Structure 1
């Protein structure tokens, strides 16, 4: 026993050059065997500096932890604005139709131009981020929303009004991609934070219809976009103050998390687009999110018109949209324990099937109150799906392509918030708003099929 203690002491003390055991050698041996004593790493600062770049260090000081909370809260506010934007259109849609004297097909141009903006933002995000950096791109996205709301607030001619939606969509795509990619790159509680991030989105979508329903009944209905403009300006100021136009790696270093490049790729490969688009799982998940977001926004946007025309709802029907997005918020936080208990992959199948069953109730049971309650429960069930998919992307996508890939999935998926609502409007112009529920049920069934095709194991780029 004394010999063992003596050798242990000698391993920690300075040794002559011919001594076979040194602190550095001990550390390397520990790494090769899969362990390193934490107190040695903390006490010997030179070891930390010499550690390989793939090691990830978490926030270890109060200042770093506070900075991490501020960064996360700022991204949550950006997602709040995204939810606010998506929840606005539904209650205002009947008023927009009456003011501009347009039918279902023409008013759906709002969603078409929004789609153009989203797809443009999704495609440009990777190039812009590589060229200007994460912090700058987030500010560009927020400023685009400011411009969009400024165009919409005075109720301009209809072509200018829908152009505002296109610019707004571009900005939303950039921020949605950046926020999702940043949170997915976090090494501590990423799954929980992703759920909270998108719960805040739901909170924004819950709040917006409460305000938009009031503006829809007054002569200055378009002044609702002035409220949105104020929120967008505050969002811009927050992004500038917190991220200060820095790259994502620099922002992560500020909270004590060194970037990880496990595969020897530093993220600057000029063929990044080619690497990403060779991944089959990327396309499957992008199309899944496109359908999911489309279902979410279509239900939240067109349900007000559906209830007023087919269920005899009055001006207060806009609150049903709030009930849906409120359920969305509740589901993203309240069902986290279910996701952990049964597994996230199985959870999506369960939630989708139950949501389809409730949609059939809304479709086939002509009850205003029952339909409103069922819509809220559909929101609860659909809520956890988006953050689950983002978490799954972090498990199955190559780490050096993770941020760009999640940005593409999020941005491309947001196009669904324009495409499916437009498709609903086009169908409604031919057969009436009764086409809403069959379309939603079929799209939810398609979601189940797409999710079954998404692999459950990590895939590497060829």
Structure 2
């Protein structure tokens, strides 16, 4: 009996490891499902924009209000993530955000019966839901140490899957002008699946608890406890690297969503494409999905920080081909190639944040960065619509070239060479400092400029 009892802990330990790994994959699956639903939202509008214009009798500028209102929703989510980063609980925040997305999609499903202002307002609700889910998923995955970079890349490939399938489905609805808004019934169904998945897997638990369950995050949890009461929104918005990453991803997501949606109108009007032009959007997001997976070895070999310069230069060259070569097939093909090279941008930026930002400001910083990047996916498409109304849809191409060049400039300024040192609120109260504080939390350190 004693011999049996002495051997009991071994199988229990093995079971604990297996259970932790299973929880890890379930958490990863939930984040992927959430990113699929976000990609679905970002990829769906392109083929439907011409039908929205016909239905509501609005021009490029007015139909682009859906993007600007979505921006306001994203900025609202950014404010919530920054000012209440410590109060937000991963499981509860993601479920609430998914519910907001469902409500927005349900309103949009009645689009042919709604007044245009109400249809536009639904994008504000959707913006809050999408940006909140995006920030929570990225903040969680940036905290994962075991295969974190690979999981981040695959999670964002899941975003690409949603953005790829959405225009394929919405293009089918665009062939039936009287029923185009029923596409959002499909979106509502996907949102419900996402909500159930998040509720069942995360079980309304906090990030640290979920990380500990999967054998991760014990060190981060301790660091977060050490910094309890010290995190202040001024530490986040006062950090130059955080603001530059937010600016970079605002430009990137704006470029991505604009390219994926307005390219359809560009191909129809400038390259004489037909109703099947919606597949150009699918090709772009398909390239985005593929790039986030197949380029992982190249990213690792060259180095994530350095490989970005290579991708940006090639993307600008491909964009010039789309602009200057008057061919429908060539334009559609190179839009897809651009998607492949743009794919790794977001996960690489998130990985840089996870490696360099102190744990006690990581969640709030990712919240700010994620929500601002989501707002870029609304602001830049709106600006594109306004410019297209004044100058013509051909202006899409020089705008995209300029946005890619701007990303290169920001990346040069932004890439942190070492972990960022952030001054905690204890610096204002020296007597409360602890001699055992870690370097990242040392109150004597200044914010790394």
With the length of structure 2 as denominator, give the TM-score of the two structures: 0.88
- Pick from 136, 158, 165: which aligns with 1:207? 165
Which residue is 2:313 aligned to?
Answer: 353
Which residue is 1:77 aligned to?
Answer: 33
Which residue is 1:461 aligned to?
Answer: 422
Deviates more, 1:397-406 or 1:374-383: 397-406
Say if 2:215 is the partner of 1:256: yes
- Pick from 125, 128, 141: which aligns with 1:167? 125
Which residue is 1:30 aligned to?
Answer: none
Deviations 1:58-103 (A, max 9, x none): 9961111111111110110000000011010001011111111100
Say if 2:155 is the partner of 1:197: yes
The CA deviation at 1:407 is 2.0
Max radius of gyration: which structure? 1
Which residue is 2:18 aligned to?
Answer: 62
- How has the CA–CA distance of structure 1 residues 371 and 164 changed in structure 2, closer, same or farther, with 3 Å as cutoff? same
What runs of 5+ residues in structure 1 fail to find an aligned partner?
A: 1-41, 49-57
SS in 1 for 2:189: helix
Tell me if structure 2 keeps the 8 A contact 1:145–1:232: yes
Which residue is 2:294 aligned to?
Answer: 334
- Pick from 389, 398, 415: which aligns with 2:375? 415
Tell me if structure 1 keeps the 8 A contact 2:260–2:281: yes
Tell me if structure 1 keeps the 8 A contact 2:224–2:359: no
Deviations 1:286-310 (A, max 9, x none): 0000000000000001000000000
With the length of structure 1 as denominator, give the TM-score of the two structures: 0.86
Q: How many residues align?
A: 409
SS in 2 for 1:415: helix
The CA deviation at 1:266 is 3.9
Distance 1:418 1:446 in 2: 18
Distance 2:131 2:375 in 1: 9
Distance 2:197 2:15 in 1: 22
Which residue is 2:91 aligned to?
Answer: 135
Which residue is 1:225 aligned to?
Answer: 184
What runs of 5+ residues in structure 2 fail to find an aligned partner?
A: 1-8, 424-449
The CA deviation at 1:269 is 2.5
- How has the CA–CA distance of structure 1 residues 295 and 189 changed in structure 2, closer, same or farther, with 3 Å as cutoff? same
Tell me if structure 2 keeps the 8 A contact 1:77–1:235: yes
1:23-172 equivalence runs, <5 A: 61-155=17-111, 156-172=114-130
Distance 1:235 1:265 in 2: 31
Deviations 1:360-385 (A, max 9, x none): 00000000000000000000000011
Deviations 1:339-371 (A, max 9, x none): 011111111110011000000000000000000
The CA deviation at 1:456 is 2.2
Q: Superposition RMSD on alpha carbons, in Å?
A: 1.8
- Pick from 375, 384, 388: which aligns with 1:428? 388
Say if 2:203 is the partner of 1:247: no
Distance 1:136 1:200 in 2: 22
Distance 1:274 1:259 in 2: 26
